[in-house]
Amino acid sequence: MSQIYIPDDKSDPFIYLMDSVNLNGCPLTDTDVTAEQYLRFAARDLEDEFERGAVNGIGNAKRALHQTVDALLQAHGLLFRNKRTAFPQKLELIDEAGLFSLSILNTLNLERNVVEHEYRVPTHARVHEVIDVAWLWLLATRRLSEYVAYESLAGWRADQTLGVVQLDPAQGLLSFFKVVGPSQVYEHEGKQYTFLEPIRMSGGGLTQGVEVDPTPVWSVTLSYKNRDTWRSLLRPVVALNEARYGIDGAVVRQGGVEVSMRVTLPLAEQARIREFMSGDEKGSPILNYAKFVFGFGDAAPATSPDG
């Protein structure tokens, strides 16, 4: 069932957002050790009661914190153009996107936990504290990446244009494309809104009668330097995600059963999917979901109606 975000604030650039394509994040693929493993290493390090155990433990706990922050940024398109950004600025990005407020981050003392003890030996008690904070942070951020809308149907408030917002984590881009297709008028809290009808078929291709203009109305890079430009554009997408964290349980709807399914893919398959999302034409700005295959076995990739 689609999730809809209708802002109360009329200064919001969007009239509405409705999820069209969502994934459970875009995980880091260039690491051999997970954040969970680093934290288990840190706990094992503390079994050494000497200074070496504390030094190794704090190092592994810091690695877990760094990786968890990067994974959260990656899932929301904020890592590609900010990989070399300093850790405090990465925390600012999390705040700017509306994922976590800086007040919460300050309460967890994430910055202090990372930059402190660079050339000093921490106590074992201090290392235990950092490990506990890292576990809390890992669990909290994992929820934020379980549901990310990478394509959303949208109404652009400036000129009432209907289209799609696409978040491209592989390029660190947020773009809006005009869509021509079926729409309906709905009433919400006494007001009428014109919503696009769903534009995707079950295989990912566009439905009959839907056309997407390949030239974006606007496209912004999600870098730290231009955060003032993308802040008001990305925050509504995050707000849409917030409405549906986690994998839904099975429910009965209109005589049918709606379930959620997770599929584990090898790293090579993830690379193939990223290639499919880049579009059939080299340099195409529109992410292409038409070749996603749903189901089991060696099914042929789905194609769009005009493909």
Q: What residue spans of the chain are helical by DSSP H?
A: 35-45, 51-75, 87-96, 102-108, 110-115, 124-144, 227-242, 267-277
Q: Is residue 18 part of a domain?
A: yes
From the list 72, 70, 63, 47, the residue with the least C-alpha distance to 113 is 63
Please tell me what DSSP assigns to residue 68: H
**pTM for this one?**
0.80
Reported as a single tens digit per residue, the pLDDT across 168-210 is 998 999 999 999 999 999 888 888 999 999 988 867 788 889 9
Q: Is residue 171 part of a domain?
A: yes
Class of residue 69 by CB neighbours under 10 A (exposed 0-12, middle 13-18, buried 19+): buried
The residue from 123, 144, 165 where one domain ends is 144
Shared domain check, 180 and 137? no
How much is the pLDDT for 207? 86
pLDDT band for 260, please (50, 70, 90 cuts).
low
CA distance 183 to 180: 9
How much is the pLDDT for 281? 54
How much is the pLDDT for 298? 35
Shared domain check, 130 and 111? yes
The count of structural domains within the chain is 2
pLDDT at 282 over 80: no
Shared domain check, 129 and 160? no
Shared domain check, 200 and 100? no
Phi/psi-derived region of residue 303, left when phi > 0, alpha when psi is between -120 and 50, beta in every other case: beta
How much is the pLDDT for 300? 32
Reported as a single tens digit per residue, the pLDDT across 37-83 is 999 999 999 999 999 999 999 999 999 999 999 999 999 999 999 99
- Structural domain that includes position 168: 4-24+147-246
Percent of the chain with pLDDT over 90: 50
Please give the average per-residue pLDDT across 212-232, as a whole number. Answer: 96
What mean pLDDT is reported for the chain? 82
Shared domain check, 167 and 18? yes
Alpha carbon separation from 293 to 262, 272, 284, 289, 301 (Å, rounded): 13, 12, 21, 9, 6
pLDDT at 299 over 50: no
CA distance 273 to 291: 8
The residue from 144, 171, 186 where one domain ends is 144
How much is the pLDDT for 28? 83
pLDDT band for 277, please (50, 70, 90 cuts).
low
Q: Is residue 294 part of a domain?
A: no
Shared domain check, 58 and 115? yes
Three-point CA angle 215, 220, 225, nearest 5°: 160
Q: Is residue 193 part of a domain?
A: yes
Worst-scoring range by mean pLDDT, 41-50, 111-120, 229-238? 111-120
Phi/psi-derived region of residue 124, left when phi > 0, alpha when psi is between -120 and 50, beta in every other case: alpha
How much is the pLDDT for 289? 66
Q: Is residue 253 part of a domain?
A: no
Please give the average per-residue pLDDT across 84-89, as a whole number. Answer: 93
From the list 168, 165, 249, 246, the residue with the least C-alpha distance to 212 is 165
The residue from 144, 161, 187 where one domain ends is 144
CA distance 154 to 219: 14
Q: Is residue 197 part of a domain?
A: yes
Q: Is residue 275 part of a domain?
A: no
Q: Is residue 280 part of a domain?
A: no
From the list 243, 249, 262, 180, the residue with the least C-alpha distance to 217 is 180
